[in-house]
Structure 1
Amino acid sequence: MKKRTSMQINHNGVVAENSFDAIVVGSGISGGWAAKELTQKGLKVLVLERGRDLRHVVDYQTTMSMPWDLPHMGRSPEESIKQQSVQARTGYTVQNEGTAYLFVKDTEHPYIEKRRFDWMRGYHKGGRSITWGKQTYRWSQMDFEANAKDGIATPWPINYDDIAPWYSYVERFAGISGSVENLAHLPDSDFQPAMDLTAAEKILKSSVEKKWNGRKVIPGRVAHLTAPTQEQLALGRGKCQYRNLCSRGCPYGAYFSSNGATLIAAERTGNMTFRPHSIVGSLIYDETTGKAKGVNVVDELSKQPMEFFAKIIFVNASCVASTGILMNTKTQRYGDAGLDESGSLGRYLMDHHLGVGASGTFEGELDKTTFGRRPNGFYIPRYRNLYQEGKGYIRGFGYQGGGTRMGWNRDILGFGEDFKKQLTSLGPWSVSMGGFGEWLPYKDNMMFLSPDKKDQWGLPQIVVDAGYTDNELNMRKDMQTDAAEMLEAMGAKNVTSRGSDPALGLGIHEMGTARMGTDRKNSVLNKHNQVWAAPNVFVTDGAAMTSANCVNPSLTYMALTARAADYAVSELKKGNL
């Protein structure tokens, strides 16, 4: 892979050889797409990753490990959890010995919580595309209109028709399995065959759809290959093996990740230079042109400063980190406001609130079981404030859940032959569902840079000050009650509902803080994801989101990135960038 070495003078008057057509900051889901699209369009692209190089397949340390292969039978030791105390808050990251190495040590990467904010991070090639949940849903026209309709925050500058062809484009490459449902508020994707519902889930489906008009139980829509295309096979990807060890890294490339798909495609062009251990602190802003001409980088290992230059820059470091880069870019034109004149940079932080739902047991269909370990479940699309009114809140929520047979590790008391027989036999079905609710964009939910505390690389620490309102609390009451009612409707026993106070970050879907908008007075980005204050800079990760919806956002990041890359290259060729 050959880099371009044009003789460019950096802002200190030193000759720079580190020049490219484009720079992509971050190699996660959106960064991987930016790399793929820009390199395939002929640009020489530098991809900067702040963490280590995690090579596809060979560096997935535990992907083939059985529980007895792990030193502590899968449970992380207390000392490790102390080093990753924030990462452990979700319950499925560092407390699982098989995945702990894919999340940061919080002791090495501190940030400041004025109010609780669960910031889950994976600093390595591919980022959180290695460990994401893979649930992939399109937004609808209703979702893009919601802010304007409700008079909240600022309107989206795009609508469904603007992004629909890009949804199709990224879906065909990534591979999305799901079922056609013809729901206006949850548009169908270009699907590969859906993963089937289990016997218990089918009982839930028939019971719920019979009792409540407008409620549906459908297979989850996931970025797993069930019928790989020739393009996907050519990348070395294969069909899902139903191991359900996805968060350890998929050696079969069956689920979509940057490492197993987009970065492979980018590398094969010969136009990508990948540099790990490269922490971008800020952009290099040209006061004369009003554009960014490069990035300031600190080497993670040597802690030495460096500069890289390019005509266009895609900032895809993830929501909070991308906004931090814009904030830390000081200019004469915008002063300490970073690259923003709207006053919205760092504000309107959002997530999906979860941790609320219900579970129970179902004693029917005992002559049926499941095939393999399906890495998916059922999905109940939003119905509140569509078919049924919410109680004291606007917007809505959906549910993700599953129904599987209970095994030997269920609670069983006894002794003797009968006890042994129970331990070696499948138990009843366990059915559980958890809600994903929309968090509204509030101005006072913010992040900013600490004026005095720095990290070990000399960069300002991130400060987060964000919380919830009655809209979230009232929604959670419905989420909890409805979940229990639906399980009871199917005949489930021992139904237990659960709920807690919401916490931003727990959904690992942080969004906002550098939102898209209709003009430079109400937003950081325009309808093409360009920074108003530096039009050759594009932000297409979660920071760009203007509202949160109640569905997983990664598919929308992918589509926005492909769309923005197409526009950026077109404008570059026209001489506008």
Structure 2
Amino acid sequence: MINLNIKATATHTFDAIVVGSGITGGWAAKELCEKGLKVLVLERGRHLEHVKDYTNATKDPWEVTHRGVLTNTQKEDRPHLVRDRPYDEFNEAYWMKDKDGPYLEEKRFDWMRGDILGGRSLMWGRGSLRLSDLDFEANAREGIGIDWPIRYKDLAPWYDHVEAFAGISGQAEGLPHLPDGKFQPPMEMNCFEKAVKGRIESAFPDRKMTIFRTANLTQPIGDRGKCQYRNRCSRGCPFGAYFSSLSSTLPAAAATGNLTVITDAVVSSVIYDEQKGKATGVRVIDKHTKETSEFYARVIFLNASAMASTFLLLNSTSARFPNGLGNDSGVLGKYLMDHHFHVGAMGTSEEFPDKYYYGQRPAGFYIPRFRNVHGEKRNYLRGFGYTGYSSRTNWARGIAELGIGAAFKDYIAEPGPWQMGLMGFGECLPYENNQVTLDHTTKDPWGQPVLKFNCEFKDNETRMREDMAADAAAMLEAAGLKNVKPFNRDSYPGMAIHEMGTARMGKDPGTSILNEWNQVHTVKNVFVTDGACMTSSACQNPSLTYMALTARAANHAVSLLKRQDL
């Protein structure tokens, strides 16, 4: 374990414990510390120091051993991760090895876990979109799942709060179903994208193409510099130009003098006191020695990531809660969601042969949801948005030519034609039988049971994907692109790394785990504010909503503590 406050750890007692140091754990620590609480952050991953430990952040492909390509050994270490895109030689040390985080699959689920201080906040895609009442009201309106206990007005000031601190660049568009935020100046689309934007919006007046709203700075904040357009974000940014726990919230928490961080700390369960009717602390296993210890606090925030927080609740059993902490309703682990993607279209253009673009912009563009927004009815519920990218084809196009000679050399020395792709991200409905359970027949290296996934996309998502491909192709064709080809590749739950649900918020303790403040209904001093709390998935990138929910819940927790109501 790495401990930054030896004296505090000797007592093992704090005002608050935060489990996890990723996007939401960092926010919980910041808000609680700044309100004067002594806070312990427990992180199962190894210690990582901002800037110093981003060892590959400035390296080019020829400066790493295998030019960024994974070896067979690296693939064997993480057989689940190699199914998907985020794991490469540049950031392999940030990801958990499968042997350290085993899980079982009744149906395929791609669970991608960080193994460092800061968690996946170092590797996230940085898309930062608000939900609206179209999303918060959808379940109630359609009779799906349960109603959210909050509405947009409850979260709007907290969206403002986290956007101003994190630094979100973007363009205001005035769309009620994609609310505008507190934006830094937007990144600029290139000439080709601007032309396509005009044509799409002319052909489809109900659709908008905008620069993606992203947690990359276009103006400095404090000691965080603005984005350098290197597009190497997933390695860690030495300029602090994108939001992560290491660059932003944890330093703010540490500046108060109220923060203690322990890494290599595998939290196994929450301690529940039957007589007090509340949680008193957590049990922790040292990752290396496997020794067990206990830490105590008046309030506990579970921010270990959606599935890990649900694991902790399921694994925290007692006479009062034999099926998991707070699980009187029996819905803990159920209603697992993720976005489905890998569907859309791509095409090329011979326009603007004399134009190029500056650097490697780390944000694409976005076409917000337009289906089932204004009362029209498709053969599916909810909707989808598109992330998009464009570039000029590079020298690699010459591989297929297998050419030689001066003419061929000149050919691949010049950029090729423009290309553009649209990829949809669609909402997944909350289904009761999409779930995770504990499997006690398999153990992790610390003797704990493991999660077993049984989750799949169903008919509603399948029908939606037909529109996601067809609409993308129609827009590119209307914009004048050639060789337009729709695609609809495999998409499995977990792949989008937007896993959520399984400890949902709700008004009724009989059908939900958490109340409107993210408190466990029956254990009011335990808060869950990561993706586990989500009642529906919407189709927007969810991390900004997690941040806002966390800041809101942390401030509510402090007010309750001051009133001695926890």
Q: Distance in 2 between matches of 1:39 and 1:441?
A: 35
* 1:338 and 2:325 matched: yes
Q: Could you list the per-position Cα deviations for residues 364-388 of structure 1 after superposition, in whole angstroms to 9, with x for gaps in the alignment? A: 0122110111001110000011248
Match of 2:181 in 1: 189
Which residue of 361, 366, 369 maps to 2:356?
A: 369
Contact 2:372 2:378 in 1 (8 A): no
* 1:438 and 2:427 matched: yes
Contact 2:90 2:235 in 1 (8 A): yes
Q: CA deviation at 1:337?
A: 3.9
Structure 1's unaligned 5+ residue stretches are 7-15
Match of 2:200 in 1: 208
Q: Could you list the per-position Cα deviations for residues 460-486 of structure 1 after superposition, in whole angstroms to 9, with x for gaps in the alignment? A: 111111112110000011101111111
Q: CA deviation at 1:183?
A: 0.3
Q: CA deviation at 1:501?
A: 4.1
Amino acid at match of 2:273: D
Q: Residues 228-243 of structure 1: matches in 2 within 5 Å? A: 228=220, 232-233=221-222, 236-243=223-230
* 1:39 and 2:33 matched: yes
Contact 2:323 2:330 in 1 (8 A): no
When structure 1 is superposed on structure 2, of 203-212 and 557-566 the one drifting more is 203-212
Match of 2:496 in 1: 507
Q: Distance in 1 between matches of 2:372 and 2:490?
A: 22
Which residue of 549, 552, 564 maps to 1:560?
A: 549
Match of 1:543 in 2: 532
Q: Distance in 2 between matches of 1:557 and 1:345?
A: 19
Which residue of 219, 225, 229 maps to 2:217?
A: 225
* 1:72 and 2:66 matched: yes
Q: 1:156 to 1:3 in 2, by over 3 A?
A: farther
Q: Residues 92-491 of structure 1: matches in 2 within 5 Å? A: 93-94=86-87, 96-228=88-220, 232-233=221-222, 236-387=223-374, 389=376, 391-411=378-398, 413=401, 414-491=403-480
Q: Distance in 2 between matches of 1:337 and 1:18?
A: 24
Q: Distance in 2 between matches of 1:3 and 1:566?
A: 27
> Partner of 1:352: helix, strand, or coil?
coil
Q: CA deviation at 1:519?
A: 2.0
TM-score normalised per structure 1: 0.95
Q: CA deviation at 1:39?
A: 0.5
> Partner of 1:496: helix, strand, or coil?
strand
Amino acid at match of 1:39: C
Q: 1:145 to 1:226 in 2, by over 3 A?
A: same
Q: Could you list the per-position Cα deviations for residues 58-98 of structure 1 after superposition, in whole angstroms to 9, with x for gaps in the alignment? A: 1112101111101111111122112211111222x22x211
Q: CA deviation at 1:391?
A: 3.5
Q: CA deviation at 1:17?
A: 2.0
Q: CA deviation at 1:550?
A: 0.3
Q: Distance in 1 between matches of 2:176 and 2:102?
A: 43
Amino acid at match of 1:317: A
* 1:517 and 2:506 matched: yes
Q: Distance in 1 between matches of 2:351 and 2:77?
A: 45
> Partner of 1:410: helix, strand, or coil?
helix
Point out 4+ residue stretches in structure 1 off by more than 6 angstroms. Answer: none
Q: Distance in 2 between matches of 1:367 and 1:568?
A: 58
Q: CA deviation at 1:494?
A: 2.0
Amino acid at match of 1:452: T
**How many percent identity over aligned positions?**
52
> Partner of 1:353: helix, strand, or coil?
coil
Match of 2:49 in 1: 55
Q: 1:67 to 1:388 in 2, by over 3 A?
A: farther
Q: Distance in 1 between matches of 2:175 and 2:234?
A: 30
Q: Distance in 1 between matches of 2:252 and 2:455?
A: 38
Amino acid at match of 1:89: R
Q: CA deviation at 1:496?
A: 2.0
Match of 1:10 in 2: none
Contact 1:357 1:497 in 2 (8 A): yes
Which residue of 1, 17, 25 maps to 1:23?
A: 17
Contact 2:349 2:417 in 1 (8 A): yes
Contact 2:199 2:479 in 1 (8 A): yes
C-alpha RMSD over aligned residues: 1.4
* 1:569 and 2:552 matched: no
Structure 2's unaligned 5+ residue stretches are none
Contact 1:358 1:484 in 2 (8 A): yes
Amino acid at match of 1:502: S
Q: Distance in 2 between matches of 1:149 and 1:569?
A: 34
Contact 2:139 2:146 in 1 (8 A): yes
Contact 1:3 1:271 in 2 (8 A): no
> Partner of 1:334: helix, strand, or coil?
coil
Amino acid at match of 2:20: G
> Partner of 1:302: helix, strand, or coil?
coil
Q: CA deviation at 1:418?
A: 2.1
Q: Distance in 2 between matches of 1:276 and 1:212?
A: 51
Which residue of 484, 491, 500 maps to 1:495?
A: 484
Contact 1:200 1:431 in 2 (8 A): no
How many positions carry a matched residue from both structures?
561
Q: CA deviation at 1:392?
A: 1.5
Q: 1:4 to 1:348 in 2, by over 3 A?
A: farther
Contact 1:2 1:271 in 2 (8 A): no
> Partner of 1:432: helix, strand, or coil?
strand
Contact 1:280 1:295 in 2 (8 A): yes
Contact 2:383 2:539 in 1 (8 A): yes
